[in-house]
Chain A
Amino acid sequence: MTEPDLLQPLLLAISEADSSPRMVEAVEKLSQARLEAAIPNLIAILGYNNPGAAVAAVEGLISLGKPAVMPLLELLDGYNYGARAWGLRALAGIGDPKAIDLLLDAAANDFALSVRRAAARGLGTIHWEELAPEEIAPAQSKVIEVLLQVSQDHEWVVRYAAITGLQELAIASIISNPDLTRQILVHFDRLVESDDNIAVIARIWLAQKEIQDYITEILSQQPELEPQLEIDWQQTLEKLYARKRREQPRPEGDPHKFRDLAAAIVKGDL
């Protein structure tokens, strides 16, 4: 059977759904079929004002991945804010860097808080490795600029989402761009003092811990290191940073560079 043959009965089930649970069920089936031909239909479902159906459609779009990105970018513009938030969530789940500009604009400027929060989250889940190496640093510096700004949004949930975005960015850039990680950690220290919302503060604590755990984990993966070594991660990052400025340039993101450095630092070789 061709895709259109498979698609027709699934779409029929959606148009005949006479209750909210049936609609959700029909959309789940359409999503699970993973048909590229269904992309416009899945996007249309985001505007039905049925949260269960929208969740299923977002999952379907994420599982289809890249082919859904351009249609999402083209069709999202001008949709109602509910649909826009779901569409941004789908783009965030796919992580395609082509969505960066849309996410940046939505996170900073959209009037709807559900759109701003989805975009702020999505800026943290971009698959950086899909960009050309020379494009990564400029794109990340645009993203951090917007996320630092959004982390002071007047809505707590948007600030919360920005913290998650900053956490992911800090982790993604530890090897290639520790400058950025440091900037984010310094910003977290300041935010945790100034924010008055306990949920946001707790999320900053968690972000600090996740970043710390990640650094510790990378370092502990070195077989030549003693397993139970206490690592002061903030100081470690500081040393990495200082060392990076002195050393000869190597390709950005080369994990060997980081491994050598980490080993050297922990052995007290600096």
Chain B
Amino acid sequence: MDDELSTQTDEPLTTAQAIANLSSQDLGLRKYAAWWLGKFRIEDPAAIPGLIAALKDEEDRTPEGGYPLRRSAARALGKLKDWQAVPPLIECLQCSDFYVREAAAQSLETLGDPSCIPPLVEMLAAAISDGRLLPQGEDFSQPYDSIVEALGTLGATDAVPLIQPFLEHPIPRVKYAALRAMYQLTQDNVYGDRLTQALTVSDLQVRRALLSDLGAIGYLPAAVPISKAHAENSLKLIALKGILEAQITLSPFDRLSDGAVQVMQLMDELL
């Protein structure tokens, strides 16, 4: 992962130009405009209708039948904080393209409107019978990691029985997403500890994802293991920042709680 290089752009865009390009004849320009609006978080209401329209695009197709422009638009809408996007993103959960469904679930998570909880729950329910994963659930036919993470972030406590079976999912990143969501929904340290223990797994990509998960849930007992994990200091610092912020939010009247001070001492060592 590279947090150092500045973004390279083919040509400089203005907000107005990017919004206009969403309806350009040139598919490349359209897709670039959707990406650009999300990347620079252009929270201009005028950008929303064009991006929502792009969720139904039929022109930009991959040989396998994917919808690249829809994917870009769905990702961008997650960054622009406009709840008008919620119903059309919910519709995208039915799209034939896996990556559109994945982007839609992730954007619904960041937008934070609880009205998307029932359709997300339905997707999990279809993979479970009698509290066990059905074969299609094990196949990763849906973006289960993103769905489960969204439900965790949205505080969907009723979904706990449906998320629980995913703790046994054969794909590590789905399993870790389930641990993360279970911690968020139950605040039970069992799940946080299992997520923390996974930091010692050998795969660097997985460790990086775990660091970001532990930072996102602000899990204080993970602070020391994070500081010792074999990964880039930049990523460890971002994870610890998440924990520090959670500590401060949790105890607003104690500006320097023991937990906050401990996390900062660990961060200092990583600078």
* A contact residues vs B (CB 8 Å cutoff): 20-21, 24, 51-52, 81, 85, 89, 111-114, 117-118, 120-121, 156-157, 160-161, 164, 198-199, 202-203, 205-206, 209
Closest to B234 in A: A114
Do A206 and B256 touch across chains, with their CB atoms under 8 A apart? yes
Chain A residues with CB below 8 A from B110, complex form: none
Give how many B residues have a beta carbon under 8 Å from the other chain's beta carbons: 25
- 8 nearest interchain CB pairs? A121-B271, A52-B230, A161-B271, A199-B241, A112-B4, A205-B255, A198-B245, A199-B244
The majority secondary structure among interface residues of chain A is: helix
- Bound form: Cα–Cα A209–B267 in Å: 17
Chain A residues with CB below 8 A from B204, complex form: 20
Do A111 and B256 touch across chains, with their CB atoms under 8 A apart? no
Chain A residues with CB below 8 A from B267, complex form: 160, 199, 203
Contacting A at CB under 8 A, from B220-266, are 230-234, 237-238, 241, 244-245, 248-249, 255-256, 260-261, 264
List 6 extra interface pairs beyond A202-B260, A209-B256, CB under 8 A.
A51-B231, A51-B233, A111-B4, A113-B4, A156-B241, A202-B248
Chain B residues with CB below 8 A from A117, complex form: 271
Closest to A53 in B: B230
Ordered by A's residue number, 17 sampled pairs between the chains whose C-beta atoms are within 8 Å are: A51-B231, A51-B233, A52-B230, A89-B271, A111-B4, A113-B3, A114-B3, A118-B271, A160-B271, A161-B271, A198-B245, A198-B249, A199-B241, A202-B260, A202-B264, A203-B267, A209-B256
A-B pair number, CB within 8 angstroms: 61
Do A157 and B231 touch across chains, with their CB atoms under 8 A apart? no
> Which residue from B3, B233, B248 sits with its C-beta under 8 Å from A198?
B248
Say if the beta carbon of B268 comes within 8 Å of chain A.
Answer: yes
> Which residue from B4, B232, B256, B271 sits with its C-beta under 8 Å from A205?
B256
Give, as a whole number of angstroms, the nearest-CB distance from B255 to chain A.
Answer: 5
> Which residue from B3, B230, B260, B271 sits with its C-beta under 8 Å from A164?
B271
Chain B residues with CB below 8 A from A120, complex form: 271
Chain B residues with CB below 8 A from A20, complex form: 204, 230
Chain A residues with CB below 8 A from B237, complex form: 157
- Bound form: Cα–Cα A175–B233 in Å: 34
